[in-house]
Amino acid sequence: MPWTWRGAPWGPDLEARAQALAGELHLPLLAGRVLAARNFTARGAARWLDLREEDFWIDPFRIPDMEKACTLVEAVLRAGGTVAVVGDYDVDGITGAALLAEALEAVGGRVRVILPRREEGYGLQPRHVDEALRQGADLVLAVDSGTHAHEGVARAKALGLPVVVLDHHQVGENPAPADALVNPHRPDAAYPFPHLAGVGVALKFLQALLGRGKDAPWRSSLDLVALGTVADGMPLVGENRLWVREGMELLRTAMRPGLKLLWEEAGRPYLTAHTAAFSLVPRLNAPGRLGDPRPSLELLLSLDEEGAEGPLAAVIQAQRERQKVEGAVLAHARLLAREKEEDPVLFLYDPHWHPGVLGLVAGKLARDYGRPVLLAGKMGGWVRGSGRAAGGADLLQLLSPLKPLFHRLGGHREAVGFTLAEEKVEEVARGIQAQARSRVWAGPEPVRVDAPADLRDVDEAFLAFLESFGPYGPGHEEPLFLFPDVTLRAVRPMGKDGRHLRLSLGDGRGSHLPAVGFSLSGRFPLGDPPGRWALVGRVEKHHFNGDVTVRLRVEDGHPQREERRYRAEVPGRALLAQLYRILKALGDRTPLLPGDPSRMAVACRKAGLPLDLSLEDLAQGLKVFSELGVLAPLKKGTEEVFLWVPPQGKLELWRSPTYRRHFLGQEGGGHEVPGA
């Protein structure tokens, strides 16, 4: 697995910044290193660590149509009418619906909740509007969908039902004409933080409708906001971090009855954003993945454990079935993928695949192959699929030129969902590959290391910092450290099949630390391995049966003799192969390329060519190819540029002095650039 620094390669300047931050904020040095690696100022770090609502509060009325939405819903509530909340079949849509139901009922509102089944298709449908009318609704309140629900909105208008949409999906050019479309992605929105989940938009609506007082009914439901935000993979920064932190505290201290039973079934993990995402969320998602999401809603809204037992049994059964279905699809998809390993995008279709698990499988394959993956199955007469991005690809941008071929297409940069007619599958597959051939994916994501560390750095003061620096998730990952010189005192297999490892670490100076390595059974020698190792891992508190231990969660490692210059880096040959492909793609478009590394990086981004190199390595890489003759230095006015000169035959990297010195750390070698 390749390693790279999160920012600039660690050196004296960053170490000096780390020491200054640690001193000014009275933090341990390792905490200062994390802050320096993530470009925090002292003021910004103090604000981040002392999380206050007033520092992150954003006026909900800055989202367009918020006032109109409040007026419409308030009128129904005052008249004693009924609001039909239409959610979605995933955890974001389910928690959004539960949040609205709890808060509106707390102020005397009459609420009916309607959740689509997966086979009905995504979003507000005419059948849901008809169901709302049968239940006596005076208004439809859609959450986590509705932005493009043209048919559903048209049906509501024909029946005289106003529609309020609370959504977070991309708006595009032709949104449905709802009576109020509350979406922070609207082009006319002045809202500075658009990265809300559907449940987050529902929260902003309730804040606008009911105020932000200490007794506002939405505050007791922030656990739902936390679950929905984490489940949808929203970045844990800004407002999201605020509400997720408060919601996780609610989950730990005042767990609702249904979730308590589910938590116990999951093994009673200590709940953080990370553990909730891997324990509670998959179970709550399972019923909706396979069909009817209602058991998850009923579990969340159960008033006591007795009432939660029925929904819990249904959720557990759905989870077991989901695991079986996902495993079968994953095994089959891996077989099909072998025949398409040369394709820049993996697009796989089998009519027997269950669409409810395709997003999960696509995510695993995307991580394995380091490129975008799109999987499709068939349900309800339509081909339905999911896609997951990798290697820096913008998946929605990639598919947008093909939009006329889809019946439905939506999502964002990292994930998409789509529906199309079966006769369009081959045409879409060809179009995807044609769109992708002009792009270069970066390959498997490298491990991004924050800072170097020693075992003695892991103390109570640093653990307190880690606690206040969270919660962790997308956009704010747990800090990752390079321990460049660690003794493996013992390595033992762990788990039923021995895929995981339990390690005992020492540093030769009296510091010791237990460690675990998940799915790393083939990476380390078992027993009492001799020698010193360089390890990459995360420091964590492990809670088990009431006991708390500190340990390192190892992500990767290698014998210490392979470590170069106390530095994590992409191996030279792989790094240069990636850079060569990018330079060739640019050179095939225009022979003159920027001579400055910063401008070269900008040119790559503008061309949609992901460049996963530090500026230092980019500068050295450009020098290598200049020495090999494929980049000829020129002057264009006062600007330094390179002329791309296609090579004749293989490039022998060892002929470059820079390559030998910078990447190998020695003279000699016989490396070649693949594909040159």
CA-closest candidate to residue 141, choices 119, 110, 162: 162
Locate 84 and state its tokens. Answer: 């039909």
Burial class (CB in 10 A: 0-12, 13-18, 19+), 2: middle
Q: Locate CATH 2.40.50.460 in the chain.
A: 3-38+450-562
3-state secondary structure 90-102: CHHHHHHHHHHHH
- What is the CATH architecture assignment of 3-38+450-562? Beta Barrel (2.40)
Q: Which of 562-565's residues contact partners 24+ apart within 8 Å by CB, and which partners? A: 562/534, 563/484, 563/485, 563/534, 564/665, 565/665
pLDDT at 26: 96
- Is the confidence at residue 362, as pLDDT, over 50? yes
Give the chain's radius of gyration (CA, Å): 27
Mean per-residue pLDDT, 28-36: 96
pLDDT band at 570 (very low <50, low <70, confident <90, very high): very low
pLDDT band at 564 (very low <50, low <70, confident <90, very high): very low
Higher local confidence (pLDDT), 86 or 415: 86
- Is the confidence at residue 475, as pLDDT, over 50? yes
Higher local confidence (pLDDT), 345 or 448: 345
CA-closest candidate to residue 139, choices 113, 116, 164: 164
Q: What is the pLDDT of residues 261-278, one digit of tens each?
A: 999 999 888 899 999 999
pLDDT at 667: 36
pLDDT band at 414 (very low <50, low <70, confident <90, very high): confident
Instruction: Please tell me the distance from the alpha carbon of residue 216 to that of residue 235, in angstroms, as a whole number.
Output: 25
User: Following DSSP, what letter does each residue of 490-538 receive, concatenated?
Assistant: EEEEESTTS-EEEEEEE-SSS-EEEEEETT-TTTS-SBS--SEEEEEEE
Q: What is the pLDDT of residues 481-508, one digit of tens each?
A: 999 889 888 888 888 778 899 999 998 7
Q: Which CATH number applies to 339-436?
A: 3.10.310.30
* Residue 314 and residue 258 in contact, taking contact as beta carbons nearer than 8 Å: no
* Residue 641 and residue 591 in contact, taking contact as beta carbons nearer than 8 Å: no
pLDDT band at 665 (very low <50, low <70, confident <90, very high): very low
Locate 59 and state its tokens. Answer: 């006026």
Q: What is the pTM of this model?
A: 0.78
pLDDT band at 652 (very low <50, low <70, confident <90, very high): confident
Instruction: Please tell me the distance from the alpha carbon of residue 271 to that of residue 55, in angstroms, as a whole number.
Output: 25
pLDDT at 350: 96
pLDDT band at 568 (very low <50, low <70, confident <90, very high): very low
Block residue for tokens 């116990």: 264
pLDDT at 6: 75
Q: Locate CATH 1.10.10 in the chain.
A: 572-664
- Is the confidence at residue 674, as pLDDT, over 90? no
Q: Which residues pair with 237 in a beta bridge?
A: none
DSSP annotation of 403: G
pLDDT at 158: 96
Q: What is the pLDDT of residues 590-633, one digit of tens each?
A: 888 888 877 887 788 777 777 766 666 788 888 888 888 888 88
pLDDT at 572: 63
- Is the confidence at residue 544, as pLDDT, over 70? yes
Q: Locate CATH 3.10.310.30 in the chain.
A: 339-436
Q: Locate CATH 3.90.1640.30 in the chain.
A: 60-219
pLDDT at 440: 56
Q: Which residues pair with 378 in a beta bridge?
A: 383
- What is the CATH architecture assignment of 60-219? Alpha-Beta Complex (3.90)
Task: Output the average pLDDT for the chain.
Answer: 88
pLDDT at 565: 38
Q: Which CATH number applies to 572-664?
A: 1.10.10
pLDDT band at 156 (very low <50, low <70, confident <90, very high): very high
Locate 239 and state its tokens. Answer: 């407002």
Q: What is the pLDDT of residues 184-228, one digit of tens each?
A: 999 999 999 999 999 999 999 999 999 999 999 999 999 999 999
- Is the confidence at residue 567, as pLDDT, over 50? no
- Is the confidence at residue 655, as pLDDT, over 80? no
